[in-house]
Chains A and B, each alone.
Chain A
Amino acid sequence: MAVNGESGRERMTTHRKPDAADHAEPELQRHFDATIARDQRVEPRDWMPDGYRRTLIRQIAQHAHSEIIGMQPEGEWITRAPSLRRKAILFAKVQDEAGHGLYLYSAAETLGADRADLTERLIEGRQKYSSIFNYPTPTFADVGVIGWFVDGAAICNQVPLCRSSYGPYARAMVRVCKEESFHQRQGYELLSTMMRGTGAQRAMVQDAVDRWWWPSLMMFGPPDGDSPNSAASMAWKIKRHSNDELRQRFVDMTVPQAEKLGVTLPDPELRWNEERGRHDFGTPDWAELTRVIRGEGPCNAQRMERRRRAHEDGAWVREAATAHAAKRRARADEGAAA
């Protein structure tokens, strides 16, 4: 759900493809650079620099992990949703996130990564997911605010990725963005309904807005001056806009929506700047983002524990499926030989 540069400091080894012809590399590099310069797509079979491949695998895997971990905070509410209609909406949304995870792992596999290996990296803490999912969801209003802010921020981040230079990623993003906009709309509609409801419901919405606003702004990653991977990603046209630019766009879009909804965004410095034609706003607590990335957020341990447990509890099922497939092949071979 969230793509950003926030955890760009992690280290990972790539599935480095053997350089078939090192001497040909300058020529290949020129061809690659020209493809990027012409805004054409790089496809899986094309030659690409190692750094480009590594950056993409890291970004796509982090995005896929974010979709999968991102199922947890809202998934908590499926069994408790307060109407059957909301239950159906939420169940379908969380299922869509599993689907996004699948497309994205598939996109990473076109670069030579392996889904099982990426899952291991997540579970061992060697690859990150978006920090936003380390915040708790104590009330049902959180479901709506996640749709509005978190899916909204994800859309701001991802719509430009539909023009990313790597073909499979860009195509996955087109499909993901369509569904994300649907989810965002659903979240906003839930909040509108709650704001027309009882005083307790309205208070629940404002409380959720207060808790999610700053973490949502952090979804765009650290300030541009402190985002180590951004420059290369921009040059390679994996990324199209800077963190700060996307954050500004998100604020400018959200302010009128908050007014319409009747909630207050918790930033005393938030005001329209006539001169810039944009909103001024306060500075997120970057130390908090660093802490949450480091694993000290309110729910890091619980999110990882759930994912690890599901993976471990499912090991015997995956082994059984593999064993059955092997037995079937063996029986088919025997049948053919007989």
Chain B
Amino acid sequence: MSDDHVYLSLAEEHDDGDARWAFGTGFEDPLHGVDPAVPAGVDRADLAARCLALGDDALVSAQRLAEWTTRAPELEEEMALANIGLDLLGQARLLYTRCGQVDGTGRGEDAYAYLRDPGGFRNVRLAELPNGDFAFSVVRLLVLASWRLAHFERLTADPDPVLAAVAAKGVKELAYHRQWAAEWVVRLGDGTDESHARTQAALDRAAPYLGELFAAYDVRADVLAVLGQVTDAAGLRLPPAPPLPGHGRDGGHTEHLAPLLDELQSLARAHPGATW
């Protein structure tokens, strides 16, 4: 019965309380060796707000990527979309945890994800728009990954060592996200008349949301250079568009955020205080 050991060991006790059986919970600690103390001179409220906003962008994006599960055009894309979603979910968890350490409330990651209402979320609005078709999802990903990568590259030198470490880990992930999205935008722009039209429409739809990104972080030149390079290669254009009024960073959101959060939070809120 040598085949049985895997199954038989299931109910055995383990010293680490089984935590090792959960992905993202203890195999590798990206903050290993990083001093969590907030350095002198760092404004704690400002740091918390920055972590929260970046965490919200990541969580909302991860939620939209999760919606692609079992709906992707091909298995390879199924896996890539999940990879990217998992990376962003991991970033959100680290950023919320840091937020809870510095904002004076001592809240854990789940308090930020599950117990705030839409008005409390600080993500940019581009992240919360519905997935649309595959063209819109890859265009949106290209824009957001390019923007977040440019900002994270700067954050690797942030005075807060924890945020700098989260950014250093994130830079590698975001470089892959940007690459994957850029390759698809080129493929779709160049592919067929239909894919070209859909991808141009996706760029047109995303364009008014770009102003909000550049108001949040001063990375306009870097991001537009990347987008210009990709759209040129794809035979597409990013149209100039006046920025939409309002700002997700101030808690102003589209009508799409509330249903997204309803779904995300429904089970957790139905069982207040429960541990899962």
Pick from A85, A88, A257, A306: contact of B10, CB under 8 Å: A257
Pick from B7, B59, B71, B264: contact of A313, CB under 8 Å: B71
**A28 surroundings in chain B (CB, below 8 A):** none
Cα of A314 to Cα of B72 in the assembled complex, Å: 7
**A102 surroundings in chain B (CB, below 8 A):** 75-76, 79
Pick from A80, A92, A152, A307: contact of B267, CB under 8 Å: A80
Given contacts A159-B3, A249-B4, A314-B72, contact A319 B276 (CB under 8 A): no
Q: Please, which residue of chain A has its CB at the minimum distance from the CB of B71?
A: A310
Interface string of B69-92 (1 = CB under 8 A from A): 111111111110011011001101
Any A CB within 8 A of the CB of B31 = no
**B1 surroundings in chain A (CB, below 8 A):** 249
Q: B276–A82 contact, CB under 8 A?
A: yes
Q: A321–B267 contact, CB under 8 A?
A: no
Q: B192–A310 contact, CB under 8 A?
A: no
Any A CB within 8 A of the CB of B105 = no
Q: A159–B6 contact, CB under 8 A?
A: yes
Chain B contacts with A in 1-49, Cβ cutoff 8 A: 1, 3-4, 6-8, 10-11, 18, 21-25
Pick from A94, A197, A319: contact of B82, CB under 8 Å: A94
Pick from B23, B76, B194: contact of A320, CB under 8 Å: B194
Chain A contacts with B in 285-338, Cβ cutoff 8 A: 306-307, 309-310, 313-324, 327
Count of residues in B whose CB is under 8 Å from the partner chain: 63
Any A CB within 8 A of the CB of B268 = yes
Q: A92–B70 contact, CB under 8 A?
A: no
Any B CB within 8 A of the CB of A217 = no
Interface string of A92-117 (1 = CB under 8 A from B): 11110011011001000000000000
Any A CB within 8 A of the CB of B237 = no
Cα of A196 to Cα of B18 in the assembled complex, Å: 14
Given contacts A101-B75, A102-B75, A194-B276, contact A84 B192 (CB under 8 A): no
Known A80-B266, A249-B1, A319-B195; further 8 A-B contacts with Cβ < 8 A: A82-B271, A89-B23, A99-B79, A102-B76, A140-B276, A314-B134, A317-B74, A323-B190
Residues of B within 8 A of A (CB): 1, 3-4, 6-8, 10-11, 18, 21-25, 59, 63, 66-67, 69-79, 82-83, 85-86, 89-90, 92-93, 96, 109-110, 113-114, 133-134, 186-188, 190-192, 194-195, 198, 263-264, 266-268, 271, 273-276
13 chain-A/chain-B pairs, Cβ below 8 angstroms: A80-B266, A88-B86, A91-B82, A98-B75, A140-B267, A156-B7, A196-B275, A253-B10, A314-B73, A316-B192, A316-B194, A317-B134, A324-B190
5 cross-chain pairs, A with B, having the tightest CB-CB distances, nearest first: A314-B73, A320-B191, A320-B195, A95-B82, A317-B73
Residues of A within 8 A of B (CB): 68, 71-72, 75, 78-89, 91-95, 98-99, 101-102, 105, 140, 148, 152, 155-156, 159-160, 177, 181-182, 184-186, 188-190, 192-194, 196-198, 200-201, 249, 253, 256-257, 260-261, 306-307, 309-310, 313-324, 327
